[in-house]
Amino acid sequence: AQSVTQLDSHVSVSEGTPVLLRCNYSSSYSPSLFWYVQHPNKGLQLLLKYTSAATLVKGINGFEAEFKKSETSFHLTKPSAHMSDAAEYFCVVSDRAPRAAGNKLTFGGGTRVLVKP
Amino acid sequence: SQTIHQWPATLVQPVGSPLSLECTVEGTSNPNLYWYRQAAGRGLQLLFYSIGIDQISSEVPQNLSASRPQDRQFILSSKKLLLSDSGFYLCAWSLGTGGFGRNQPQHFGDGTRLSIL
């Protein structure tokens, strides 16, 4: 079984300051982990993915995340927030599963980011 | 490159009316396909997934059904809509790898906002 916990439902930052979105996971196998961003009334866009290669993963729009197995965490960071970063962010885990299971994902509850000017 | 198209973008339907939402993927063959629902203030709920034509799995018992008449076409239907069917419906695809697909992220369409009156 797998699960994802996003520790903050809302995060508020000032433009130009760092952003930290926290995510903890549990997984029966070595997981693959993803971060997605969703702007209002839009679909989810993949920011980055971890698939057992480098533990520090760089994504689009200046985001990066670090996989820490000992802490079962996959926190998302960005050094300097931009107004366009205001959105909802989802941490997602994919367990090892055969193709017959359709590569199902487990989503965290989401973190809504507010960026203040 | 691969693209996913989902339509309509918004839909307002009366209770008891039928529903048909369409999703098509371009630029890849034999993808895994998914339908999700996102209710207001809640996370994503996987409704159906498909690893091939006529291979569709339902995740939750409900008033909805899915079909895959062509390799890259996925349709979500209902014969009679309920008020509880309101929500934001998202279609997604991932590469249909021959073996384990856990490393594959899902790629989402822009969604359909369904309101039931």
Print the SS3 string covering B61-99.
CCCCEEEEEECCEEEEEECCCCHHHCEEEEEEEECCCCC
Distance from CA of B103 to the nearest CA of A (A): 6
B48: domain CATH number? 2.60.40.10
Give me chain B's average pLDDT, please. Answer: 89
Q: Mutate one of B1, B2, B30, B44 to test the A interface: name it (highest A CB count within 10 A).
A: B44
Q: What is the span of the domain harbouring residue B106?
A: 3-116
Least confident of A63-72, B17-26, B60-69: B60-69
Tell me, what's the pLDDT at B11?
96
Token reading at A63: 């985001």
- List, for residues B30-54, the tens digit of each pLDDT value: 999 999 999 877 788 899 989 888 8
Whether residue A77 is predicted with pLDDT greater than 70 in this model: the reply is yes
Amino acid identity, position A109:
G
Least confident of A98-107, B75-84, B86-95: A98-107
Residue A68, chain B, CB below 8 Å: the answer is: no
Give CA–CA dist B107/B2, Å, rounded.
9
Mean pLDDT, range A94-109, rounded to an integer: 69
B57 or B116, which is more confident: B116
Tell me, what's the pLDDT at B100?
41
- List, for residues B54-80, the tens digit of each pLDDT value: 888 888 867 899 999 999 999 999 999
Residue A56, chain B, CB below 8 Å: the answer is: no
Closest chain B residue by Cα to residue A50 = B103
Q: How confident is the model at residue A79 (pLDDT cuts 50, 70, 90)?
A: very high
A29 or A110, which is more confident: A110
Give CA–CA dist B44/B49, Å, rounded.
14
Residues of chain B contacting A105 with CB distance shorter than 8 Å? 46, 106
Tell me, what's the pLDDT at B47?
93
Mean pLDDT, range A49-70, rounded to an integer: 91
To the nearest 10°, report the CA torsion of A6, A80, A57, A97. 30
Residue written as tokens 């918004």? B10
Residue A43, chain B, CB below 8 Å: the answer is: yes
Q: How confident is the model at residue A48 (pLDDT cuts 50, 70, 90)?
A: very high
Q: What is the interface size between A and B, counted as CB pairs within 8 Å? A: 73
Closest chain B residue by Cα to residue A51 = B103
Q: How confident is the model at residue A96 (pLDDT cuts 50, 70, 90)?
A: low
The domain total for chain B is 1
Distance from CA of B111 to the nearest CA of A (A): 6
Where are the domains positioned within chain A? 3-116
Distance from CA of B105 to the nearest CA of A (A): 7
Tell me, what's the pLDDT at A45?
96
Token reading at B42: 């809640």
The domain made up of A3-116 has a fold known as: Immunoglobulin-like (2.60.40)
Distance from CA of A106 to the nearest CA of B (A): 9
Whether residue A83 is predicted with pLDDT greater than 90 in this model: the reply is yes
Residues of chain A contacting B49 with CB distance shorter than 8 Å? 102, 104
Residue A90, chain B, CB below 8 Å: the answer is: yes
